[in-house]
Amino acid sequence: MTDLHAAARRCLDATDPAEKLRLTHETWQAFLAGELRADPDSPPPEPIGAPGRPAKPQLVNARQVPQRGLGSAEGRAALVHAVAHIEFNAINLAWDAVYRYRGKPADYYRDWASCAHDEARHFAMLAARLAELGHAYGDFDAHDGLWAMAEKTAAHDTARMALVPRVLEARGLDVTPGMIERLRKLGDERTAAILEVILREEVAHVAAGTRWYRHCCERDGVDPIDTFFVLLRDYMGATLRGPFNRPARLEAGFLEEELDRLAALSPVPG
| pLDDT-based confidence at residue 57 (cuts at 50, 70, 90) | very high
- Residue-level pLDDT at 30: 98
Between 59 and 12, the higher pLDDT residue: 12
Question: Domain residue spans in the chain?
Answer: 55-265
- Residue-level pLDDT at 146: 87
Mean pLDDT score across all residues of the chain: 94
Q: Does the pTM exceed 0.75?
A: yes
Element housing 76 (H / E)? helix 73-100
Beta strands in the chain (DSSP E): none
- Find the mean pLDDT for residues 78-98: 97
| 84 contacts 138 by C-beta, under 8 angstroms | no
Worst-scoring range by mean pLDDT, 56-70, 121-135, 168-182?
56-70
pLDDT at residue 270 is higher than 60 = no
SS3 243: coil
Q: Buried (b) or exposed (e) across 29-53, using 16+ Cβ within 10 A?
A: ebbeeeebebeeebeeeeebeebbb
Measured between alpha carbons, how far is 50 from 237 in angstroms, rounded to an integer? 24
- Find the mean pLDDT for residues 202-223: 98
Mind listing the pLDDT tens digit for each residue in 248-265?
A: 999 999 999 999 999 998
The dihedrals phi and psi of 100, each to the nearest 5 degrees, come to -85, -35
Largest CA distance in the chain: 55
Of 222, 99, 210, 103, nearest to 150 by C-alpha is: 99
Between 146 and 109, the higher pLDDT residue: 109
| 130 contacts 136 by C-beta, under 8 angstroms | yes
Mind listing the pLDDT tens digit for each residue in 96-108?
A: 999 999 999 999 9
| 39 contacts 66 by C-beta, under 8 angstroms | no
- Residue-level pLDDT at 242: 84
Mind listing the pLDDT tens digit for each residue in 133-189?
A: 999 999 999 988 889 999 999 999 999 999 999 999 999 999 999 999 999 999 999
Cα 36 to the center of its chain, rounded Å: 23
- Residue-level pLDDT at 83: 96
Of 162, 232, 224, 193, nearest to 80 by C-alpha is: 193
The dihedrals phi and psi of 249, each to the nearest 5 degrees, come to -70, -35
- Residue-level pLDDT at 269: 55
Between 51 and 66, the higher pLDDT residue: 51
pLDDT at residue 25 is higher than 70 = yes
- Residue-level pLDDT at 266: 80
- Find the mean pLDDT for residues 26-42: 96
- Find the mean pLDDT for residues 117-124: 98
Measured between alpha carbons, how far is 84 from 57 in angstroms, rounded to an integer? 11
Amino acid residing at 78: A
- Find the mean pLDDT for residues 188-199: 97
Name the burial class of residue 61, with classes exposed (0-12), middle (13-18) and buried (19+) by CB atoms within 10 angstroms of its CB. exposed
| 82 contacts 67 by C-beta, under 8 angstroms | no
- Residue-level pLDDT at 224: 98
Domain 55-265 annotated CATH 1.25.40.10: no
* CB atoms near residue 260 (< 10 Å): 11
